Amino acid sequence: MNCPHCGAPMTLFRERDYYYCEHCGSYTFPDQNNQGLRVLGENPEGIACPQCQVILNLVTYADFFRGYQCPQCQGLLFNRTTFREAIDFQRSKTKLPSEPFSSYQPAELERKTFCPVCERQMETFQYNGPGNIVIDTCHPCDLIWLDYGELQKVVNAPGRDRGVPRKPPQDEEEDQESNKPGSILEQALAELLSGWLKKD
């Protein structure tokens, strides 16, 4: 991405989802679209869309979950764990009514999609979670491909987990880490104190 102010190449700070221009010192903060995706430009690895063969864009979903999106067909590529966590989190915070049950076309199961990383044929099957969609998965690369609109179908599908509050994954990780003693010295002190209290 080039700087909108001076035209110089900008540096992407992926952990913060913004661009910085070292030439003029300006920042660019990409907006989030109506699907909750923040598009950050082409991925530097050169991973291409399995449908269109164009370079996928880096995206952040719901300001936390990282993935890729095709600028043409709008399909999405996620790590499978990231996809599951994103769906769980988005479904937990929704306050809108669910969408009616939808069906899929059985012919979709016959399609062939090739992994954009290892180029092997992905496994195509009906998704077992909420929403009635067909997904493509590469187990060796641990990736999942979603066609346009399928992410929203899963988020908006009926289910008892919708609207049940849940912490974002980074908060859960911080809670788990805060419950662990940080250093070897802290662990030793905790064990010593625990043993001392048991004696009394």
Tens of pLDDT, residue by residue over 61-73, are 988 899 999 999 9
Domain membership flag for residue 4: no
Longest distance between any two alpha carbons in the chain, whole Å: 71
Three-state secondary structure along the chain? CECCCCCCECEEECCCCEEECCCCCCEECCCECCCCEEEEEECCCCCECCCCCCECEEEEECCCEEEEECCCCCCEEEEHHHHHHHHHHHHHHCCCCCCCCCCCCHHHHHCCCECCCCCCECEEEECCCCCCCEEEEECCCCEEEECCCHHHHHHHCCCCCCCCCCCCHHHHHHHHHHCCCCCHHHHHHHHHHHHHHHHC
- Residue 135's pLDDT is 92
Asked if the model's pLDDT at residue 90 lies above 70, the reply is yes
CB 58 within 8 A of CB 76: no
- Residue 183's pLDDT is 59
Domain membership flag for residue 186: no
- Residue 196's pLDDT is 62
Burial status of residue 115 (CB atoms within 10 A of its CB: 0-12, 13-18, 19 or more): buried
Which position has the higher pLDDT, 138 or 108?
A: 138
- Residue 95's pLDDT is 80
- Residue 188's pLDDT is 67
Q: How many domains does the chain have?
A: 1
- Residue 35's pLDDT is 83
- CA pair distance 58, 86, nearest whole angstrom: 16
What's the mean per-residue pLDDT of the chain?
Answer: 85
Asked if the model's pLDDT at residue 115 lies above 60, the reply is yes
Range of the domain at 143: 31-166
Domain membership flag for residue 9: no
38 phi and psi, to 5 degrees? -110, 110
| Mean pLDDT, residues 17-26 taken together | 87
Domain membership flag for residue 98: yes
Neighbours of 72 (CB within 10 A): 13
Domain membership flag for residue 156: yes
Domain membership flag for residue 174: no
- Residue 199's pLDDT is 58
Domain membership flag for residue 159: yes
Chain position carrying tokens 């939808």: 102
Tens of pLDDT, residue by residue over 158-195, are 888 888 877 666 655 555 555 555 556 677 667 766 66
Asked if the model's pLDDT at residue 102 lies above 80, the reply is no
Tens of pLDDT, residue by residue over 29-60, are 888 787 889 999 899 899 999 999 999 999 99
Domain membership flag for residue 55: yes
- Residue 198's pLDDT is 61
